[in-house]
Amino acid sequence: MTPRTRRGIEFVLDNLVWFMLLFVLIVFSTFVPNYFQLGIFANIIEASSVLGVLSIGLSLVIIAGHMDLSVESVAALSAMAVGILFCSAGIGIGVQLQPEWLAVPVSLLVAITVGGLVGLLNGFLIVRMKMNAFIITLASFIWVRGLVVAVSGGRSAQDLAPAIRWFGIQRVLGLPLTAWIAVSCFIVFSVLMAKTPYGRHLKMIGGNETATYRAGIRVARNLVIAFVLAGAIAGLAGWLLTVRTSGATANLGVGLLFNAFAAVVIGGVSLKGGVGSLPGVYAGVLLLSSINTAINLMGLPANFTQVIHGLLVLAAVMLDTLKQSVRRRLA
Amino acid sequence: MTEPLLVLEDIRKNFGAIEALKGVSFSIGKGEVVALLGDNGAGKSTLVKIIAGGHEASSGRMLFEGREYRAKTPAEGKAMGIETVYQDLSLCTNVDVVSNFFMGREITRRVLGIPILDEKAMEREVAKALAEAGTRIPSLRVNVEHLSGGQRQAIELNRFVHWGGKLVLLDEPFAALGVEQTRRGLEMIRHVASQGIGVVIITHIMQQAFQVADRIVVIRQGVVAGDVPTHQTTPDAVIRMITGEALAGTGPAAAKR
């Protein structure tokens, strides 16, 4: 095999999700009436922004060889915190800041700090106290959601401060600013994972923790940071959720966790750790979103969405096995 | 013998009431390959761990490059240039050769104050280091999981040499390798030693010891039962030292003393 064909095949393997996305878009554009429109594509990106941001944090932790089941509840807690502070109806107390735009950085800071703190607690218990990540984050998944329900009393907050709401309305090149925030998050964290020593170390820790420890990499510190980042990013996802819905309810974002896992797995991240890249995860998120859109346009009952998502995860795992065997033959 | 790199003097190690090492003394020269032989439970692994910093000796002392040496952790040993190369314990198979080579020591350049990996510079250095060692690996960008056991070992050894290692300890390095890979591995060990690096290799396979080692040290029941230059002894004599048929220090080695 010439080095050229080898590189070609490796390129396809590395970016398989993107080719799948392209394929799906072409098929839908051909067969689903009204699918091929700029507005539809913009909608796909827009609809995937919250899920996309949430998947970034989840991916970081999974690539580092751990697990974070709490991201969904953390996003809800951050959303509720922002909702209570900056909504003027329902349980919102409508904090007024002067000048008005100050609400934007303050609300962002609140959301990210709330998320980061839960992440720090997860990280401390898992990494420093050496407890099981699955159990600890499952506990967080439950108690954080419980906290959301308790704090809100099961009621909701509405009418978000206009200055924050602006991010969901203002469009640049056909996309609302919230979508641009998600896209830039993917760019920033893709660079972090692929181009900086920190990202490289996380991936290597996910591959063989003993080896990285022996090589003098500060494993515990890097892992705690990963959990804090996952929490903080989930907080940002919660902020986006508040903006999108202009408020917060106690059951905000329920079910997002499973979609995030689906996106991460479809995107080529291995649950065993050490494998995967963020651009792939974004393709996975977009893939889910384009299928949802197609189902909507075809007028199928929404119940089918779940069946298709499940099958898609299965397909992704099988494809991953296939990829592995092709690679082994390449080497 | 060449200039001594590591000298062990009367090393003892107790685990509670059990005396694993009862006063071991021998030395390893620069550029020398020493094969450490002995039956299971003779104390070889304990000894290697004491040298690399996995265990601390109960008494006795070690001189490394003429200076008192005592490692409390493997990291301390490593900082001095002493390291155990375990198979598959020190490589991340999910990343490529270059990443493994530079694990924890990545070359970066600052872009807007953010450290960014300098892949090109790292790849150049790895290519150079491997070429000098005569190791052939099809692509430096291929993940290590797709490489053979022999190639992995080559990467580990070359990495060790590249980062200034002085004494490498190999515990059963060819346990999982085929004939051809073992032959190349043995060649590589000679190559490493020719650069002035001390090599201690634990093996059960007599033939390998005779192929690669300059000197054979036999440990039996926690003491040195034989310390002979390879060309002055025979496999049969060594087996007798291991099983204890010959008394400590007898055989060809006794003539030297």
Closest partner residue to B117 (CB to CB) among A200, A208, A331 is: A200
In a domain, B166, yes or no: yes
**Cα–Cα distances in Å, from A283 out to A56, B24, B231?**
12, 61, 64
Q: Assess B143–A contact: CB distance below 8 Å, yes or no.
A: yes
Residues B103, A215: C-beta atoms closer than 8 Å: yes
Which structure tokens are listed for B179? 């004939």
B146 vs A50, residue with greater confidence: A50
pLDDT band per the 50, 70, 90 thresholds, residue B178: confident
Q: Is residue B130 part of a domain?
A: no
Domains annotated for chain A, with CATH where assigned, are 7-330 (1.10.3470)
- Residue range of the domain that includes B29: 4-94+146-256
pLDDT of residue B251: 45
Q: Is residue B120 part of a domain?
A: no
Kindly report the nearest CA distance between residue B159 and chain A, in angstroms.
Answer: 11
Q: Residues B54-98: pLDDT tens digits?
A: 888 999 999 999 899 988 888 788 888 998 887 667 899 999 999
A27 and chain B in contact, CB less than 8 A:
no
**More confident position, B84 or B32:** B32
| pLDDT exceeds 60 at position B167 | yes
Amino acid letter, A72: E
Residue B141 lies in a domain: no
Chain B residues with CB under 8 Å of A6 CB are 139
Q: Assess if residue B159 is contained within a domain.
A: yes
Q: Supply the pLDDT for residue B53.
A: 85
Q: Which of B100, B90, B103, B98 is nearest to B139 (CA)?
A: B98
The distance of B118 to chain A (nearest Cα, Å) reads: 8
> Could you write out the DSSP letters of every residue in B2-54?
-SEEEEEEEEEEEETTEEEEEEEEEEEETT-EEEEE--TTSSHHHHHHHHHTS
Residues of chain A in contact with residue B105, where contact means CB-CB under 8 angstroms, are 215
Chain B residues in contact with A11 by the CB 8 A cut-off are: none
Do B104 and A215 count as a contact with CB atoms less than 8 A apart? yes
ipTM here: 0.84
Cα–Cα distances in Å, from B148 out to B137, B145, B176? 10, 8, 10
Number of structural domains (chain B) is 1
The minimal CB distance from B99 to the residues A200, A216, A330 is found for A200
Residue-by-residue pLDDT tens, chain A, 331 positions: 677 887 788 788 888 889 989 999 999 999 888 888 888 899 999 999 999 999 999 999 999 999 999 999 999 999 999 999 999 888 988 888 888 889 999 999 999 999 999 999 999 999 999 999 999 999 999 999 999 999 999 899 999 998 999 998 888 998 999 999 999 999 999 999 999 999 999 999 999 998 898 888 899 999 999 999 999 999 999 999 999 999 999 999 898 998 899 899 889 898 889 999 999 999 999 999 998 888 888 888 877 788 888 888 888 788 778 887 887 777 6
Please compute the mean of the pLDDT values over residues B5-17 and round it to a whole number.
91
Closest-CA distance of chain A to residue B90, Å = 4
Rounded-to-10 torsion of CA B150, B152, B155, B157 = -70
Strands B18-29 and A157-160: unpaired
Using the Cβ of B114 and the Cβ atoms of chain A, whether some distance falls under 8 Å is answered with yes
Output the pLDDT for position A53.
96
Tokens standing for B26?
Answer: 């021998």
Say which CATH number the domain at B180 has: 3.40.50.300
Rounded to the nearest angstrom, the minimum Cα separation between A14 and chain B is: 12
Paired tokens of A298: 């075809």
For residue B117, give how far its alpha carbon lies from the nearest alpha carbon of chain A (Å). Answer: 5
Within-domain flag for B122: no
Cα B89 from chain centroid? Answer: 14
Q: Is residue B129 part of a domain?
A: no
A323 interfaces chain B, CB cutoff of 8 Å = no
Mean pLDDT of B229-248: 83
A327 and B93 within 8 Å at the Cβ level: the answer is no
Residue A4 sits at the chain B interface (C-beta within 8 Å) = no
Q: Which SS3 state, helix, strand or coil, does residue A286 take? A: helix
Mapping DSSP to helix (H, G, I), strand (E, B) and coil, where does residue B64 land? Answer: strand
Q: Which residue of B has its CA nearest to A273?
A: B94
